[in-house]
Amino acid sequence: MSTTVSTAIKEVGHKLFGGYAELLRIPHTARFAIGSVIACMPFPMVGMTITISVQHYYGNYSLAGILTAIQAIALAVASPVLGKLVDKFGQRQVSIPTIIVWMIASIALVTSITNRAPEWVLYCITPFMAAIPPWGAMSRARWTTLLKGDRERTDRALSLSGVFDECMWVIGNPLASTLAVISGLLAFSFTGVCVVVGALMFLTELTTEPKSQTVLAREAGMTRKQYREREAARAKALQVEAAAESARAKALAEGLSEEQARAAADKAAADAMAGRKESIWGPGLIAVCVTWFSLGAFQAAASISIIAFATEANAKQYTGFVFACFSISSLIGALFYGAKSWTVPLWKRFYFCLAVVNIGIGTFMFAKHLWVIMIIYLLIGVCQAPTWINGNQLMLHLVPPSRFTEGVAWMGAMNSIGSSAGSAITGQFIDRMGSHGGFMVVTTLALSSLVIAFIGFKQIKSSTETPTLTTVHV
């Protein structure tokens, strides 16, 4: 009996997670995938470390909120720039000098905080904490290049990246809160070690690094500008072809004649040809980025409000574990989400997961105890990683292959801008009204975010019906 149960469990496990194991058995993939996660430790740790350390040494949440907002804005500005530079010149060429800048800035910031330097000094140093290479986008770019043409395994690889990201948050959040309470220096030192180790693992893996636009243009015997124009033209041609075919099929399904169907196809093709051909900024990308802005705003507001709530309850040391509950639940969601081959349209999955996260976090203002927030996080977290996975899959439809890193970086940048706005606004309300005021802001932003997402419904839905641009061979 026990043997039968064990065999059944193994079969289920293989069916669910065998695809992930297959991806990691591809030579060299495990190294860059794990290395990118380790190098990403500044994302979960820096914001919380700054908040806890500044509140401890300076005694107010407004300064902590402003500093995290400055870092988020700087990250929003730097991420797309770094992503664009990576696509142009290569991952190693951009990442190494960026890491050096971040290490110098982190040492200067922690020294200033612990010595209670004037606030203007913190304002000057904090922007340089955004000098973080787009590890997640670079890792996903390696997967999409490696698996080009294999849609199912590409989607699973993006889910696997989401799983690893959640592992980072599961470890980083409680670790940051624990280490920062002990010493801000200790928290920053640990983060610096992670950056160096992860960067060495990722950047020394050369066989999976995608070719930069510079290399591809050189191989094609043209300038980088000429290469980008050629690739944009090919992507546009694919979109025009898909639009024409879709219009023709729709016309025939409605009972129109072949001539009328051909006219509808010609009109759809002409419409698709209209507008700028070299820009990645179509209606779909704009709608996704605006949605990610609002997502970042209310989630950052929730984070700083939870820290204030825990501080009022004399349980500040447990804040990291509260966030870890969200990440653990999200990790489970990512595992199962990526293991399944979905037949439900991408736009339906996107809006369902987004609604669960927004409405769930919007209920925090009614929580009376920290454990209630933990339970809510556990329940809604299963949709957090799938929301980001869906966003990454949308990018496959919205940007051409050699600009994928830039597209994902823009999505993250808008999320960071939203985070900065959410942190700054919420810090002011917390100082005046306590954590309850912060949660009022969270609920307002969460509901507003959902409304904003549905305003872009037409653009997001239509983008999922266009071909996957990363399958264009250039």
Instruction: Please check whether residues 345 and 239 belong to one and the same domain.
Output: no
Q: What is the pLDDT of residue 470?
A: 47
Q: What is the pLDDT of residue 389?
A: 80
Per residue in 386-400, pLDDT tens?
A: 888 888 777 777 776
Q: What is the pLDDT of residue 100?
A: 93
Q: Do you know the residue count of the chain?
A: 474
Q: What is the pLDDT of residue 402?
A: 62
Residue 253: alpha-carbon gap to chain centroid: 39
CATH of the domain at 316: 1.20.1250.20
| Residue 1 clears pLDDT 70, i.e. is over it | no
Q: What is the pLDDT of residue 98?
A: 93
- Integer Cα distance of 62 and 429 in angstroms: 9
The residue ranking higher by pLDDT, 237 or 100, is: 100
Instruction: Please check whether residues 231 and 349 belong to one and the same domain.
Output: no
Identity of the highest mean pLDDT range in 129-143, 257-271, 324-338: 129-143
What confidence tier does 401 reach under pLDDT thresholds 50, 70, 90? Answer: low
Count of domains forming the chain: 2
Instruction: Please check whether residues 195 and 240 belong to one and the same domain.
Output: no
Average of per-residue pLDDT across 176-200: 79
Region of poorest pLDDT, from 152-156, 180-184, 331-335, 435-439: 180-184
Instruction: Please check whether residues 144 and 88 belong to one and the same domain.
Output: yes
**Domain for residue 457, yes or no?**
yes
Residue with tokens 């040391």: 317
Q: What is the pLDDT of residue 11?
A: 57
The residue ranking higher by pLDDT, 57 or 465, is: 57
- Integer Cα distance of 445 and 99 in angstroms: 34
The residue ranking higher by pLDDT, 97 or 130, is: 97
Ranges assigned E (strand) in 183-310: none
Average of per-residue pLDDT across 190-194: 85
Q: Which domain holds residue 248?
A: 221-273
Decide: helix, strand or coil at residue 25.
Answer: coil
Q: What is the pLDDT of residue 317?
A: 67
Burial 182-206 (b: 16+ CB within 10 A, else e): eebbebbebbbebbeebbebbbebe
Q: What is the pLDDT of residue 327?
A: 75
Region of poorest pLDDT, from 164-168, 176-180, 441-445: 176-180
Instruction: Please check whether residues 266 and 348 belong to one and the same domain.
Output: no
Instruction: Please check whether residues 103 and 248 belong to one and the same domain.
Output: no
Average of per-residue pLDDT across 360-365: 83
**Domain for residue 16, yes or no?**
no
Instruction: Please check whether residues 266 and 286 belong to one and the same domain.
Output: no
Q: What is the DSSP letter of 285?
A: H
Q: What is the pLDDT of residue 471?
A: 45
Q: What is the pLDDT of residue 406?
A: 73
- Integer Cα distance of 130 and 408 in angstroms: 16
Instruction: Please check whether residues 250 and 384 belong to one and the same domain.
Output: no
| Residue 5 clears pLDDT 70, i.e. is over it | no
Q: What is the pLDDT of residue 474?
A: 30
**Domain for residue 1, yes or no?**
no
Q: Are 427 and 64 in contact (CB under 8 A)?
A: yes
The residue ranking higher by pLDDT, 409 or 306, is: 306
Burial class (CB in 10 A: 0-12, 13-18, 19+), 447: middle
**Domain for residue 436, yes or no?**
yes
What confidence tier does 97 reach under pLDDT thresholds 50, 70, 90? Answer: very high
What confidence tier does 385 reach under pLDDT thresholds 50, 70, 90? Answer: confident
**Domain for residue 10, yes or no?**
no
What confidence tier does 473 reach under pLDDT thresholds 50, 70, 90? Answer: very low
Instruction: Please check whether residues 436 and 287 belong to one and the same domain.
Output: yes
Q: What is the mean pLDDT of the chain?
A: 78
Structural tokens at position 287: 């709608």
Q: What is the pLDDT of residue 330?
A: 81
Average of per-residue pLDDT across 128-147: 85
Instruction: Please check whether residues 332 and 400 belong to one and the same domain.
Output: yes
| Residue 472 clears pLDDT 50, i.e. is over it | no
Decide: helix, strand or coil at residue 3.
Answer: helix
Determine how many CB atoms are found less than 10 A away from the CB of residue 13: 12
What confidence tier does 99 reach under pLDDT thresholds 50, 70, 90? Answer: very high
Structural tokens at position 254: 């409605």
CA distances from 387 to 105, 121, 144 (A): 32, 37, 19
- pLDDT > 70: percent of the chain: 84
Residue with tokens 């060429």: 93
Instruction: Please check whether residues 259 and 318 belong to one and the same domain.
Output: no
Average of per-residue pLDDT across 207-233: 79
What confidence tier does 27 reach under pLDDT thresholds 50, 70, 90? Answer: confident
**Domain for residue 211, yes or no?**
no
Instruction: Please check whether residues 130 and 249 belong to one and the same domain.
Output: no
What confidence tier does 200 reach under pLDDT thresholds 50, 70, 90? Answer: very high
Average of per-residue pLDDT across 216-230: 79
Q: What is the pLDDT of residue 173?
A: 62
Q: What is the pLDDT of residue 6?
A: 59
Q: What is the pLDDT of residue 96?
A: 92
